[in-house]
Structure 1
Amino acid sequence: MVDNGVRHWQVTAEEAGQRLDNFLLRVLKGVPRSHIYKILRSGEVRVNKGRARPHYHLHLGDVLRLPPVRSADPAAVPRLPEQLAVDLRERVLFEDDRVLVLDKPAGMAVHGGSGIRYGVIEALRQLRPDLRELELVHRLDRDTSGCLLLSKRRSALRSLHQALREEAMDKRYLALVGGRWKGAERVVKLPLRKNILQSGERIVRVDEDQGKPARTRFYREEDLGIATLLRAELDTGRTHQIRVHLQAIGHPTAGDSKYGDETFNGAMRALGLRRLFLHAAFLAFPHPRDERIVRVEAPLPADLDAVLQRLRVAEP
Structure 2
Amino acid sequence: MKTDNLTVQFANITDDEAGQRIDNFLLARLKGVPKSLIYRIVRKGEVRVNKGRVKAEYKLVVGDVVRIPPVRVAERNEVPVSAKLDKVAALVDCILYEDDHLLLINKPSGTAVHGGSGLSFGVIEGLRALRPQARFLELVHRLDRDTSGILMVAKKRSVLLSLHEQLRQKTMQKDYLALVRGEWQSHCKVISAPLLKNILQSGERIVRVDSAGKPSETRFKIEERFAGATLVKASPITGRTHQIRVHALHAGHPIAFDDRYGDTQFDRQLAATGLQRLFLHANMLRFQHPANGETLSIQAPMDQQLRHCLQVLRQQAQKR
What TM-score range do you get, normalising by the shorter chain? 0.7 to 0.9
More off after superposition, 7-16 vs 219-228:
7-16
Change (3 A) 1:265 1:161: same
- Secondary structure of the corresponding residue to residue 159 of structure 1: helix
Aligned counterparts of 2:69 and 2:235: Cα–Cα separation in 1: 40
User: 2: CA distance between counterparts of 1:112 and 1:77?
Assistant: 11
Structure 2 equivalent of residue 234 of structure 1: 236
Q: 1:10 to 1:198 in 2, by over 3 A?
A: farther
Superposition pairs for residues 24-35 of structure 1, below 5 Å?
Answer: 24-31=26-33, 35=34
Contact 1:134 1:153 in 2 (8 A): yes
> Pick from 275, 278, 291: which aligns with 1:276?
278
Matches within 5 A, 1:1-316: 1-2=2-3, 14-15=16-17, 23-31=25-33, 35-36=34-35, 49=55, 59=59, 69-71=71-73, 79=81, 81=83, 82-183=85-186, 186-209=189-212, 211-315=213-317, 316=320
Structure with larger Rg: 2
In the alignment of these two chains, the number of paired residues is 301
List per-residue Cα deviations over 1:161-213 (Å, max 9, x = no partner): 1111111211000000000011165101111121211111111111212x111
Residue identity over aligned pairs, in percent, reads 52
What is the rounded CA distance, in whole Å, between the counterparts of 1:45 and 1:311 in structure 2? 57
Instruction: Report the alpha carbon displacement of residue 247 of structure 1 after superposing the two structures with TM.
Output: 0.9
In structure 2, relative to structure 1, the CA distance for the partners of 1:7 and 1:205 (3 Å cut) is farther
Give how far 1:22 is off.
5.8
For 1:311 and 1:241, the matched residues in 2 are separated by 26
**Paired letter, 2:221:** Y
Distance 1:300 1:22 in 2: 34
> 1:294 is matched by which residue type in structure 2?
L
> Quick one: which amino acid aligns to residue 227 of structure 2?
G
Q: Is the 8 A contact 1:139 1:148 kept in 2?
A: yes
How far apart are the structure 1 equivalents of 2:190 and 2:31? 40
| Alpha-carbon displacement from aligned partner over 1:99-120 (angstroms, at most 9, x marks no partner) | 0000101110000112212000
TM-score (norm. length: structure 1): 0.83
Question: What TM-score do the two structures reach when normalised by structure 2?
Answer: 0.82
Following superposition, the deviation at residue 71 of structure 1 comes to 3.6
Query: 2:122 is matched by which residue type in structure 1?
Result: G
The 1-side partners of 2:23 and 2:231 are apart by: 35
Gaps of 5+ in 1: 53-57
CA offsets per residue over residues 202-249 of structure 1, 9 Å max, x none? 11111212x111110000001111000000111111111100111111
Q: What is the CA-CA distance between 1:84 and the residue it aligns to?
A: 2.5
Q: Alignment partner of 2:177: what SS?
A: strand
RMSD value over aligned CA atoms? 3.3
Q: Are the equivalent residues in 2 in contact too, given 1:255–1:276 (CA < 8 A)?
A: yes
Amino acid corresponding to residue 133 of structure 2 in structure 1: D
Kept in 2: contact 1:12–1:60 (CA 8 A):
no
